[in-house]
Amino acid sequence: MYWVLQLLEEKMRDNLLFGPPGSGKGTQSPIIKDEYCLCHLATGDMLRAAVAAKTPLGVKAKEAMDKGELVSDDLVVGIIDEAMKKPSCQKGFILDGFPRTVVQAQKLDEMLQKQGVKVDKVLNFAIDDAILEERITGRWIHPSSGRTYHTKFSPPKVLGVDDVTGEPLIQRKDDTAAVLKSRLEAFHKQTEPVIDYYSKKGLVANLHAEKPPKEVTVEVEKVLS
């Protein structure tokens, strides 16, 4: 009996966070990650780190990112494939911002199949576009930890400074109203079909992402429990 329980406890959890820019994926990720000991893989964070370090991958990705367009499927599939092999991902992972096209979703299925696992749940951060501009233009981030703040909804104790490290916060170059328009266009055209892909498999849980952060956390916990 103990053995069975242990196997259940050790089951891999592979969850996808799905939603437009500013819907709250990055805000909820650390909570899920800590509660279930999962690794958090956000393709946007990995790409921004590559751009900052001017790696060959970063150089290739920069132009599309600056314009709010998606980078090529091959680039992001390559970085996810590599990142999933990390020891910290052995209990499972939260994928945040990936897959963003149906081709990426198909490639992910192939990668997971090779490891004998599959996607458990897709958490859909459903929200109206009209709410997102204020969220995006007020967002400040602590780049090395990924901690996220908002000037109005979640301000740091000291303006422009990370609560934990005291290091400076930054605003993302693409967090402007103009670039958000292209990002939302890409979301509706290329990424929304991904939700149909997973709906057909019965994996999608819809969240009310317009609610305050703590209420969204309660919904996330209900879905994952």
What gap in Å lies between CA 181 and CA 159, rounded to an integer? 27
Give the residue from 135, 184, 150, 193 showing the smallest Cα distance to 20: 184
Q: Which stretch binds ligand ADP (CB under 6 A): 19-27, 53-61, 79-87, 162-170?
A: 19-27
Is 183 assigned a catalytic role?
yes
> x/- site string to ligand AMP, residues 89 to 128, per CB under 6 A?
--------xx-x---x------------------------
Q: Could you say which of ligand AMP, ligand ADP, none residue 23 binds, taking C-beta under 5 to 8 angstroms by partner kind? A: ligand ADP
Contact yes or no for 12/112 (Cβ under 8 A): no
Q: Could you say which of ligand ADP, ligand AMP, none residue 22 binds, taking C-beta under 5 to 8 angstroms by partner kind? A: ligand ADP
Is there binding between residue 183 and ligand AMP (CB under 6 A)? yes
Q: Which stretch binds ligand AMP (CB under 6 A): 68-76, 119-127, 193-201, 213-221?
A: 68-76
In this structure, the strands spanning 13-18 and 121-126 are: parallel
Beta bridge mates, 141: 148, 170
Q: Which is nearer to ligand AMP, 174 or 219 (CB)?
A: 174
What gap in Å lies between CA 20 and CA 180, rounded to an integer? 10
What gap in Å lies between CA 156 and CA 142, rounded to an integer? 11
Minimum distance, C-beta of residue 9 to ligand AMP, in the bound complex (Å): 30
What gap in Å lies between CA 199 and CA 106, rounded to an integer? 14
What gap in Å lies between CA 79 and CA 83, rounded to an integer? 6
Per annotation, catalytic residue among 48, 107, 135, 139? 139
Residues that bind ligand AMP (CB under 6 A): 21, 43-44, 47, 64-65, 68-71, 76, 97-98, 100, 104, 183
Q: What are the catalytic residues? A: 25, 100, 139, 172, 183
